[in-house]
Amino acid sequence: MNANDAKARIEQLTKELNKHNHLYYVESNPEISDYDFDMLLKELQELEEKFPDLASPVSPTKRVGGDITKKFETVVHRYPMLSLSNTYSQEEIQDWVTRISKVAEGDLEFVCELKYDGVAIGIQYLNGVLHQAVTRGDGSQGENVTTNVKTIRTIPLNLQGDFPEDFEIRGEIFFPLDNFNKLNEARRADGEPEFANPRNTASGTLKMQDSQVVASRGLDCFLYGIYGTSLENGHFETVQRAADWGFKVPKTQARYIEKTNTLEGVMDFINHWDQERSNLPFEIDGVVIKVNDYAQQEELGFTAKSPRWAIAYKFKAERVQTTLETVSYQVGRTGAITPVANLKPVQLGGTTVKRASLHNADQIEKLDLHLLDQVYVEKGGEIIPKIVGVNVDEREPQAERVVFIERCPECATELVRTEGEAQHYCPNDIGCPPQIKGKIEHFIGRKALNIDGLGAETVDALVDVNLIENYADLYDLTFDQVVELERMADKSANNLIAGIEASKQIPFEKVLFGLGIRFVGETVAKKLAKHFKNIDALIAADFDTLLTVDEIGEKIANSIVAFFLEEENKTLIGRLKSAGLQFEIEEKEGGSNKLEGKSFVVSGVFNAFSRPELKEAIEMNGGKNVGSISKKTDFLVAGDKMGPAKLQKATDLGVTIISEDEFIAMLNGD
């Protein structure tokens, strides 16, 4: 392909990808499958690699990230980023309305909006192209986080329709609760401490150096103000108009935004969201009331810090007082110690609360906790409620201070705390029962060795009867030993042994993840496997060599070096190797990652492939074979003589059914 053809194709792909991105993320109304979208994106990526001069800084390929920002430059805001004055009662809102009614001429019309709990962002567009995105900072200057903002799918890179030439749009970047919870689940699985709340995590994410990580986290954005243009007379109309240019703006149908000309209308909006906010898929901390008419806004003007034409109403956080009965300490798979407050049960936000996370020793110190304290408990977006303060007036004079434990509650080993880290750890990783069990559970997990027929309960039982004390011991287990366990039938014992046997075929990267090296999650394990190709090369790598690997920083490198310095770990690996596990990458010819992330069910008889060959082709190209059809299956490859029941099930569940020819076309990238 010559440069001219490439240019035309890049333009066409860009247009299509932008359109489908908008349909999917902003309109929630996709027209093409994820697979087809990925294929278009891949084509664009390849063309941009071949013709780098033709790659636009606002190409849809920027959505997946990859660019690194070493230092975020400071940018002065064209229009200062002010804050809102806060109110906490409906009387204060009423006073505000009375006050401004005296100043502004004519009847007032109000726009009621949600107060999104995230990070403010100002995004400048020049001639319909995203130019730069800047954080609030101190209000007069912020940080240029454009590269990271480009990965947020609901923020358009190119505008459509009749947009102003040069304007700034402001909004709030936030972490949707679903994505936040998923991130914490993954961190739990990787043995990393969980993030405390969505807002701080959104803020931290936005300032990460690696935009690929930002892209993977799934931030979102709502827009609430436009500066530098006055196409319409009012705020509400301007915001709605921004939807025509491709922005995600709050919807009136969902009552995310509302226009009213009465105080009752404003109060109704406040009351509605005070009740309903816990059902939103993101966090809000109040509502914002704004005067709609721009001329009236101008009349009202600003104080030094905030506009007089707008006011925030902050919800009272749901807070209750209860007694702190005891503090207990949990030991995680990596030995991390988490203090937990055991509370006198109390009702909060519709559930009974008995426990609250205390995170770490600093938190206990900050709260200056004493046993039997009356503590205030609040529920934010977190899964577990938190203690936000102590009612010191009700503290007994002889109350005993909570002092962080010095020894592991499970194995009595002295705890350690590395400088600069918030968490205490139990260093006895090979002798501490929850660490032993946790490590084995991690090893057998779905994303690691995926051992069918073995669950957490069985691991507990096997450890308790001293049949295993590490993951290498699994490979010495016999049917006769296992069948002796309580409630273990012949069939289950057989399945367990067969599952262990099958795990010997699991690829190196998953085995590496399964070893449970601190900070080596799924993605890092993949990167390491790809780079070093086998375990011996990885063991031989020193700190500096590790740092040369993409995305490996000092923290991970240190952890890897420390892991392999322990003789015990090397012995375990030696035993796993002898058992026949995969410790090197299998370089297969004809492999690709074209089917990465897709799951397939193969059924029937085929012409070009035998069934096992077809399954192998799926694996070799990064796809996954699954046994039976479910909602999560991406494709059913249907051959001849396939049973009608399977076909029906796939149709009912909306699974895409493809023929052998279509599958081959997929592999060929058509």
Restricting to residues 601-660, name those near ligand IVH by CB under 6 A. Answer: none
DSSP string, 413-460: PBPB--TT-S-EE---TTT-HHHHHHHHHHHHSTTTT--TT--HHHHH
Residue number with the shortest CB distance to ligand IVH?
Answer: 120
Nearer to ligand IVH, 30 or 307 (CB): 307
Restricting to residues 221-240, name those near ligand IVH by CB under 6 A. Answer: 224-225
Instruction: Tell me how far, at minimum, the Cβ of 71 lies from ligand IVH, in Å.
Output: 24
Judged by CB under 6 A, the stretch of 114-122, 156-164, 320-328, 376-384 that binds ligand IVH is 114-122
User: What count of other Cβ atoms lies within 10 Å of the Cβ of residue 251?
Assistant: 11
The β-bridge partners of 625 are 600
- What is the contact mask toward ligand IVH in residues 277 to 296, using x (rule: CB under 6 A)? -----------x--------
Instruction: Tell me how far, at minimum, the Cβ of 660 lies from ligand IVH, in Å.
Output: 53
Q: Name the helix (H) or strand (E) containing 121.
A: strand 119-126
Restricting to residues 181-200, name those near ligand IVH by CB under 6 A. Answer: none
Instruction: Tell me how far, at minimum, the Cβ of 274 lies from ligand IVH, in Å.
Output: 16
Closest CA to 656 of 664, 665, 647, 643: 647
Nearer to ligand IVH, 174 or 471 (CB): 174
How many amino acids of this chain bind ligand IVH (CB under 6 A)? 16
Q: Alpha-carbon distance 46 to 59, whole Å?
A: 13
Nearer to ligand IVH, 115 or 510 (CB): 115
Query: Which residue's structure tokens are 């799934």?
Result: 218
Nearer to ligand IVH, 221 or 454 (CB): 221
The per-type count for the chain, helices as H runs and strands as E runs, is: 24, 21
Nearer to ligand IVH, 118 or 438 (CB): 118
Instruction: Tell me how far, at minimum, the Cβ of 310 lies from ligand IVH, in Å.
Output: 6
Tokens of 383: 């899964």
Judged by CB under 6 A, the stretch of 39-47, 238-246, 305-313, 391-399 that binds ligand IVH is 305-313
Overall size of the chain counted in residues: 670
410 binds ligand IVH (CB under 6 A): no
Q: Check residue 22 and report its DSSP letter.
A: I
Between strands 86-87 and 310-314, the pairing is parallel
Q: Alpha-carbon distance 499 to 666, whole Å?
A: 32
Nearer to ligand IVH, 172 or 441 (CB): 172
115 binds ligand IVH (CB under 6 A): yes
Instruction: Tell me how far, at minimum, the Cβ of 285 lies from ligand IVH, in Å.
Output: 8
Nearer to ligand IVH, 306 or 323 (CB): 306
DSSP string, 315-362: PPP-EEEEEEEEEEEEE-TT-EEEEEEEEEEEEETTEEEEEEE--SHH
Q: What are the CA-CA distances from residue 401 to residues 105, 127, 325, 357 (Å)?
A: 60, 62, 12, 18
Instruction: Tell me how far, at minimum, the Cβ of 139 lies from ligand IVH, in Å.
Output: 8
Instruction: Tell me how far, at minimum, the Cβ of 257 lies from ligand IVH, in Å.
Output: 8
Instruction: Tell me how far, at minimum, the Cβ of 97 lies from ligand IVH, in Å.
Output: 18
Single residue of 109, 168, 172, 410 touching ligand IVH by CB under 6 A: 172
Q: Are 618 and 625 within 8 A, CB to CB?
A: yes
Q: Give burial (CB, 10 Å; 0-12/13-18/19+) of 293.
A: buried
Restricting to residues 51-80, name those near ligand IVH by CB under 6 A. Answer: none
Instruction: Tell me how far, at minimum, the Cβ of 283 lies from ligand IVH, in Å.
Output: 11
Nearer to ligand IVH, 115 or 386 (CB): 115
Q: Alpha-carbon distance 408 to 518, whole Å?
A: 19
Instruction: From the candidates 115, 248, 379, 510, give the one annotated as an active-site residue.
Output: 115
169 binds ligand IVH (CB under 6 A): no
Restricting to residues 440-469, name those near ligand IVH by CB under 6 A. Answer: none
What values do phi and psi take at 549, rounded to 5?
-80, 135
Is 115 assigned a catalytic role?
Answer: yes
Tokens of 577: 């190797």
Single residue of 13, 41, 75, 82 touching ligand IVH by CB under 6 A: 82
Q: Which amino acid is at 38?
A: D
Single residue of 13, 84, 100, 601 touching ligand IVH by CB under 6 A: 84
116 binds ligand IVH (CB under 6 A): yes
Closest CA to 374 of 396, 356, 397: 396
Q: Give burial (CB, 10 Å; 0-12/13-18/19+) of 129.
A: middle
Judged by CB under 6 A, the stretch of 302-310, 375-383, 587-595, 607-615 that binds ligand IVH is 302-310
Q: What are the CA-CA distances from residue 433 to residues 191, 410, 469 (Å)?
A: 16, 7, 9
155 binds ligand IVH (CB under 6 A): no
174 binds ligand IVH (CB under 6 A): no
Displacement of CA 245 from its chain's centroid (Å) = 28
Judged by CB under 6 A, the stretch of 210-218, 261-269, 272-280, 304-312 that binds ligand IVH is 304-312
Nearer to ligand IVH, 139 or 427 (CB): 139
Q: Alpha-carbon distance 445 to 535, whole Å?
A: 20
Nearer to ligand IVH, 110 or 329 (CB): 110
83 binds ligand IVH (CB under 6 A): yes
Q: Alpha-carbon distance 125 to 228, whole Å?
A: 11
Q: Alpha-carbon distance 219 to 621, whole Å?
A: 29
Tokens of 645: 């029941």
307 binds ligand IVH (CB under 6 A): yes
Q: Alpha-carbon distance 516 to 535, whole Å?
A: 14
> Does residue 106 come out as left (phi exceeding 0), alpha (psi in the -120 to 50 range) or beta?
left
Nearer to ligand IVH, 310 or 463 (CB): 310
Closest CA to 395 of 358, 364, 370: 370
Instruction: Tell me how far, at minimum, the Cβ of 195 lies from ligand IVH, in Å.
Output: 20
Instruction: Tell me how far, at minimum, the Cβ of 284 lies from ligand IVH, in Å.
Output: 8
Displacement of CA 229 from its chain's centroid (Å) = 35
- What is the contact mask toward ligand IVH in residues 131 to 150, using x (rule: CB under 6 A)? -----x--------------
Q: Alpha-carbon distance 19 to 153, whole Å?
A: 12
Q: Which residues are near ligand IVH by CB under 6 A? A: 82-84, 113, 115-116, 120, 136, 172, 224-225, 288, 306-307, 310, 312
**Residues annotated as catalytic (active site), given as ranges:** 115
